[in-house]
Structure 1
Amino acid sequence: MLVGWLDYQRETVPAKVEGVTLEDAVRPLVPSGTTLLGLVKHLAYVERYWFRMMFVGQRLPDIWTDPNDPDPEFRIEPGETVDSVVALYRDEVAAARTAIDGANLDRVAVGRPFSLRWILCHMIEETARHLGHMDILRELIDGAVGT
């Protein structure tokens, strides 16, 4: 059931940027500087972090290494596009699904005190919270609401 709820949230993420130009997707519309595409990229990296790096202990490049840049996963780099960031998100979701396939909800992450159940609940909350942010940003961009 928890995976189903997370998948429901996950499936909504790409829809929030569908039909949006790169210019609009990276335009900061709120004082924090948060952007629509930055949120998609952030969600890709938290999928990677919680399921692959934390839960199963995969050694992957850590993007959080610069103490002067606490949020690099929100930054869209030159050459990145709406399609490429959405593809990154979809790839990380697929890898996360593979990482937890068949795992018991009570299984604890490698070297960490977090169960798969806790991680799934956290990711449902994390994804839903940012989908709300994406709703607001999308409405500011072109008036589109909900989905």
Structure 2
Amino acid sequence: MDEKALLHRYLTAARDALLWKLDGLSEYDARRPLTPTGTNLLGLVKHAAGVELNYFGRVFDRPFPEPPRWSTADALPASDMYADTDESRESVVAFYARVREFADATIDALPLDAPGVVTWWREERRAVTLRQVLVQVSIELHRHAGHADVVRELIDGAVGMQDGNTNMPPVDAGWWAGHHARLEEIAATAGATLRG
């Protein structure tokens, strides 16, 4: 497998892991904010679409035919991190599918050393190549897939790296409850004795 195909494969794995976390959830649970900053699963997918639009579009001067309103300068802060009431889950997922096709077309069309400019980075780091962008976006999407894994576990206890691979020890819920209790005891003891 050549380098571009390998980098693309890692990107695709992150995309698929992120989308998989929506499977089987109600509309409420897909949108439910579970952190003080409002992190939610559908918002992570919407954000991933924006990440790919910017890195595989703007960086290489390849305009996307249907820029979303939440990507404009007058959009509300963090509006790429949640789906509003007029945005269905299906519309967000379909939009991300179109963005993925657009990003894949950029990846297919350009060589790994194709130059680009990340205007929102510091001046001395702005000049990049497609290779750097593939690595950057893969890292960012894998990070968000990790966020999604934690959020999904908080919703219904479901965990895993990908469909059919939980990457967790094969133990029952009782074992996990005991494990959680042990970790809580360790944390409380360390907190009381180490004061750090």
For normalisation by structure 2, the TM-score amounts to 0.68
Task: Please identify the structure whose Cα radius of gyration is greater.
Answer: 2
User: Which position in structure 1 is the counterpart of 2:84?
Assistant: 77
Is this contact kept in 2: 1:64–1:70, CA < 8 A?
Answer: no
Quote the residue 2:184 is aligned against.
Answer: none
Match of 1:134 among 148, 160, 167: 148
**Does the CA-based 8 Å contact 1:57-1:110 persist in structure 2?**
no
Tell me the residue number matched to 2:36. 31
1:92 and 2:106 are equivalent in the alignment = no
Matched residue SS, 1:10: helix
Q: CA deviation at 1:75?
A: 2.6
> Which whole-Å deviations, capped at 9, do the CAs of 1:35-85 have from their partners, x for residues lacking one?
111000000111111102222432664714138x33221131222222221
Q: Using the alignment, how far apart are the partners of 2:156 and 2:111 within structure 1?
A: 43
Q: Could you list the runs of 5+ residues in structure 2 that have no partner in the other structure?
A: 1-5, 119-125, 163-196
In structure 1, what is the equivalent of residue 48 of structure 2?
43
> Which residue identity is paired with 1:128?
H
**C-alpha contact (below 8 Å) 2:15/2:141 kept by paired residues:** yes
- Residue 188 of structure 2 corresponds to none
SS state at 1:13 partner: helix
- Matched with 2:15 is 10
* RMSD, matched Cα: 1.9
Q: What is the CA–CA distance in structure 2 between the aligned matches of 1:59 and 1:133, rounded to whole Å?
A: 27
Partners of 1:21 and 1:82 within 8 A in 2:
no
CA contact (8 A) 2:59 2:116 kept: yes
Contact 2:64-2:102 at 8 Å conserved across structures: no
Deviation string, structure 1 residues 91-138 (Cα, Å, up to 9, x no partner) = 111111012214111111168511101100100110000000000000
**Do 1:17 and 1:36's aligned partners in 2 also have CA atoms closer than 8 Å?**
yes
Secondary structure of 1:77's match?
Answer: coil
SS of 1:109's partner is: strand
Q: Which amino acid aligns with 1:85?
A: V
Taking structure 1 as the reference length, what is the TM-score of the superposition? 0.89
List, as ranges, runs of 4+ consecutive aligned residues in structure 1 with deviation greater than 6 Å: none
Tell me which residue corresponds to 2:159: 145
Counterparts of 2:50 and 2:145 in 1: how far apart (Å)?
15
Equivalent in the alignment of 1:123:
137
